[in-house]
Structure 1
Amino acid sequence: MENEQPQFRQFTYHGDGTELFKIYIVNWLLTILTLGLYYPWAKASILKYNYQHTEFDGSNFTFHGTGKEMFRGFIKVVAVIGILYGALISAQLSGNTTVTLVVIIVFYIILLFLVPIALHGSMRYRSSRSSWRGIHFGYRGDRGTLTKQFLKDAFLTIITLGIYTSWFINNLRTYIIGNIRFGNITFQYTGNGSDFFWLNLKGRMLTGLSFGIYFFWYQMELFEYFIENVYAEQDGKALPIRSTAKGGDFFVLTLVNGLMLIFSLGLAFPWVQARNFRFFMSNIWVQGDFDGNSLVQTEAEYRDASGDDMVDMLDLDLM
């Protein structure tokens, strides 16, 4: 009896730069006219479009979040960030060096605490409001546990002058991805700090020695590392995730995107975004006997978008 060939399923993005451009134009105009208050609705419209145009195994994803939900979180985040920056500016205007130094220290300590809180809230909201075939994602992490781990790793990163960053990033991914659920599918991340440290060291050294040429292969290796160290499991069956991206593909993508942005004076951003999504989705494959028909809803809804808005405000890109 012949061995069965492994099954592979690919993600596909069908978004169009022209359609995205129309959405962005409306969003930019309304955000300007409302002095920024329209931002949550603008963000929700982009997310809805990109989800609806991302397909897996014949079905598209859905984002259920709304501008109203995000606006509530947006107001909370603006208030918190406003108070922090207000205190910082007031201290600097006081002219008192001691007071300014104390406020700056407190400012960064509070920001350090806000990062894991924001990540936790963002994961709960974004996963809960994301679905495929009516089945919602979920995040079961504990805010206190994540905060303790984050602060410990941040401290080790600081006292090692950044050397511990590779372990910091991988520990964070291990915890967060390990707490993501999709119906009866669980996830785990198997990357480790040591491998990631050497991967980065090699990539940066070869990028320098090649006068930047190796940078695109370095980006390919990072993408491959993060993707292929994520494993899904459904009813005891492993569903490894694979990357098919090549260094040359990254080179062409970056070169063309750069030229588009330069010659359009930035107006080609929606087309660049569509190209990026299409590239990354087309290079992610799920291997194994995935059964979309046996998925069972297990996650509850969560509508507080404060964490998701704070992630944007703090410009976090840790995940």
Structure 2
Amino acid sequence: MENKLYERKEYTLNFNGKGSDFFGIVMVNWLLTILTLGLYYPWAKAKKLQYLYSSTSLNEDYFAFHGTGKEMFKGFIKAIGVFILLGIVIYIITDLFSLLFLGPLLFYVFLIALLPIAIHGSYRYRTSRSSWRGIRFGYRGDRKEFTFLFFKWIFFTIITLGIYGPWMAMNMRNYLLGNVRFGDVEFEYDGDGSEYFMLNLKGYFLTLFTLGIYLFWWQKDLFEYYVNNLSLKKGNEKIYFSSTATGGSFFGIIATNILILIFTLGLGYAWVATRTMKFIFANIEAEGDIDLNALVQTEENYKDATGEDLSDFLNLDTIM
């Protein structure tokens, strides 16, 4: 890693959300979602994201999420339509050939086909509706290119019986994050499949040999790898990120969160979520020589939340 930076600056990331405040939002969201038989979900998600973003700061200036329930509801309806159409197509094919066993197989094939579309759409929507000091984020990946790469990676993963999985994970993270923009600043990610494979292999066997104790250090290693390979670039200027988390601190946050959920019968979720966010940002350091006061607006608004809602239906965690 190059460290020859001039006028080195430090950047401070913080999360200042409170469990009590988030609890109120979560409870109202749950109640209204239940009462409306799920129709309120897009508004619930928008309120949740708006709170989490507005509680996160960079150099004491807060991020903002501009997505709305109305935008997400339109995407929600489109996503439902996609799954209804999927069901109809599967029914017609299985009925036409009188092969009912094809139904589940076709369902999973079509789901896999939707994955790159959902991931691409989610990234494009989520980044476009995010900002800091009024400077929007953006995603410049190409859907056709990403879809082709995704299926190539899936093919290699299948024919290697899953061994290629770590390479696929890093290739996807490199592509997605490498196409994210923050005004005129570019994200870069330098994860390597071989390193990631060895990291997980080591974590798996040491967790097995220590009867699960090493699990927390494995999580620390993964977090460190994700953070340390991320950087921002603007011309010759860069910002580097690094993790300060330890295995012991991971043990503390995970064990405490589990106890909170158990003893509150799940009602402590809001405190678990805010404690986790505080932990993440408290353990990320950033330094470099990019002047954040000189950022230029370059990214367009994009309000189609279909990909975002498809990713929810498919239970995908986006790489943000």
The residue aligned with 1:315 is: 315
Q: Which amino acid aligns with 1:18?
A: S
The residue aligned with 1:193 is: 193
Secondary structure of the residue aligned to 2:199 is helix
Alignment pair present for 1:42 and 2:44: yes
**Alpha-carbon distance between aligned partners in 2 of 1:98 and 1:176, rounded to the nearest angstrom:** 41
The residue aligned with 1:58 is: 60
**Shift in Å, 1:317:** 2.3
**Alpha-carbon distance between aligned partners in 1 of 2:227 and 2:53, rounded to the nearest angstrom:** 19
**Shift in Å, 1:242:** 0.9
- 1:77 aligned residue (76, 79, 82): 79
Secondary structure of the residue aligned to 1:188 is strand
Q: 1:271-318 CA distances to partner (integer Å, 9 max, x unpaired)?
A: 000001110011112111231210000000000000011111101126
For normalisation by structure 1, the TM-score amounts to: 0.94
Q: Which amino acid aligns with 1:105?
A: L
- 2:25 aligned residue (19, 23, 26): 23
The residue aligned with 1:182 is: 182
CA contact 1:87–1:103 (8 Å) conserved in 2: no
282-291 vs 136-145, greater mean Cα deviation: 282-291
**Shift in Å, 1:107:** 2.0
**Alpha-carbon distance between aligned partners in 1 of 2:318 and 2:180, rounded to the nearest angstrom:** 16
Q: 1:242-284 CA distances to partner (integer Å, 9 max, x unpaired)?
A: 1111110100001110110000000000000000111001111
Secondary structure of the residue aligned to 1:302 is coil
**Shift in Å, 1:119:** 0.6
Q: Which amino acid aligns with 2:252?
A: V
**Alpha-carbon distance between aligned partners in 2 of 1:7 and 1:98, rounded to the nearest angstrom:** 67
**Alpha-carbon distance between aligned partners in 2 of 1:21 and 1:83, rounded to the nearest angstrom:** 37
**Alpha-carbon distance between aligned partners in 2 of 1:89 and 1:212, rounded to the nearest angstrom:** 45
Runs of 4 or more, structure 1, over 6 Å off, are 89-92
**Alpha-carbon distance between aligned partners in 1 of 2:122 and 2:219, rounded to the nearest angstrom:** 26
**Alpha-carbon distance between aligned partners in 2 of 1:240 and 1:98, rounded to the nearest angstrom:** 58
CA contact 2:177–2:189 (8 Å) conserved in 1: yes
CA contact 1:88–1:100 (8 Å) conserved in 2: no
For normalisation by structure 2, the TM-score amounts to: 0.94
Q: Which amino acid aligns with 1:211?
A: L
CA contact 1:10–1:282 (8 Å) conserved in 2: no
**Alpha-carbon distance between aligned partners in 2 of 1:40 and 1:29, rounded to the nearest angstrom:** 14
236-245 vs 97-106, greater mean Cα deviation: 97-106
The residue aligned with 2:122 is: 122
Q: Percent identity?
A: 49
**Shift in Å, 1:59:** 0.3
The residue aligned with 2:301 is: 301
**Alpha-carbon distance between aligned partners in 1 of 2:123 and 2:100, rounded to the nearest angstrom:** 34
The residue aligned with 1:287 is: 287
Q: Which amino acid aligns with 1:139?
A: Y
CA contact 2:123–2:318 (8 Å) conserved in 1: no
Q: 1:206-257 CA distances to partner (integer Å, 9 max, x unpaired)?
A: 0000110100000000001011111111232121111111110100001110
The residue aligned with 1:162 is: 162
CA 87–232 in structure 1, closer or farther in 2 if over 3 Å, else same: same
Secondary structure of the residue aligned to 1:100 is coil
**Alpha-carbon distance between aligned partners in 1 of 2:8 and 2:127, rounded to the nearest angstrom:** 29
The residue aligned with 1:253 is: 253
Alignment pair present for 1:232 and 2:232: yes
The residue aligned with 2:143 is: 143
CA contact 1:169–1:318 (8 Å) conserved in 2: no
